Structures are given as structure tokens and as C-alpha cells.
Amino acid sequence: MPYGVGPLTMVLIGLSVAVHVLRLGGYDENIHRELLISSVQIDGAGYRFFKGLTEVMKGEVWRLFTPVLVHGGWLHLLLNMMWMLDLGSMIEGRQSTGRMGLLVVVIGVVSNLGQYFLTGSPLFYGMSGVVYGLLGYVWIKGKFDPSSGLYLHPHTVAMMLIWFVLCMTPLVPRIANGAHAVGLGLGVVWGFLASVKAMRRGA
């Protein structure tokens, strides 16, 4: 990895792993109650929750972001952290940790809200919306502003887009497709807007 490992990227990976270990260590109910966009209570084999973002409106604004730190299983966590390691470190190395932080927070919050308002359920987890947002940002920024140092191989983009479509089919159930779509769309738009000055210079 020529750009090294980003410090913020490692913090996000560490937090995600820690939350997953806590889930497996008997704190699953606490995490559902405190970190999801709205409090979810585990009731036997099911879940209970209230409609609306009551806790957020009362000041628990961390809930808008923290669902990205929760994952459904080790495979889910591993795949998201692999992409986070690559994309996050690239952005930190080629641009800045501040830019990476802004991207992660904004994409995380907006993709979580998108998923919630599309489904009405707070039962969704994972960094996937952020990962797709970073993918869209790096892809478009690298395409229109090569001097940024950001670059994704076309095969990588194709693979991620194929997976994006597959997740919308019954072959891959229980996926937060709303977060994927909103994250990807926001990343693409952000990457384009961040490239406007470079495109004007090259005109």
C-alpha cells in the first residue's frame, strides 16, 4: 500500500471490531439499544422498536452515525473493513485525514437516514453505505481529477457495482440497499463537485 495505512481508517476499523466483539460477548442487547438509529429491544426471537427518531430528537445525535460501527457477522465485518482499509487509507494518504473524516461522517449520516426513511425500520447495520460512498468519491474524483492521486481500477469498480446490483436480488437477502444507494450516489456527486476546479484548469 504505497500511501500507508490511515490513522482514522484504523480507528474506524478498531471501533467496528470492538463493537462486534462486544456483541458476541453478551452486550448485543445494549448495542441494539444504544447504537442503532433508534432504540431496538430484543424480545425473545424478535425485536421491538418505536417508529420515528424519538431518541435523536431528544439529543442522542450519535445514533445518526453509530449504526455504521455495528455488523451482522464476521464475514460482513471482514468485507467492509477490507474496503475501508483500502479506500480510507488512500483518501487519507492522497488528501488528508480531515477530508476522510468529513466524508465518513456525512456519508454515514446521510446513508443511515436514507435507509431508515426508505424502510421505516432501525434494524440495519454496517459500514457498507460509507464504503460505497468512498468508492463513488474515489472513482469519480480519480476520473475527473487524476492529479488527486486517487484511482480505482475499472475492474474494481465493475466488481463493486455488480455486487451492488446483486444485493438487490433475492440471492443476497437482508441487505441495507437504501444505505448502499444513497452512499454511492452521494459519493459520486461529491467526487464530481470536488473535481470541478481541476476540470476547469484542464479546459
List, by residue number, the catalytic residues: 128, 180
Q: Note whether 103 and 129 are within 8 A (CB).
A: no
DSSP state of 51: S
Q: What is the DSSP string of 167-196?
A: TTSTTS-S--HHHHHHHHHHHHHHHHHTTH
CA distance 37 to 167: 22
Q: Return the residue matching grid coordinates 426471537.
A: 45
Closest CA to 158 of 135, 141, 177: 135
Q: Which residues, in sequence order, are bridge partners of residue 46?
A: 43
CA distances from 67 to 3, 33, 61, 124 (A): 28, 11, 12, 7
3-class secondary structure, 105: helix
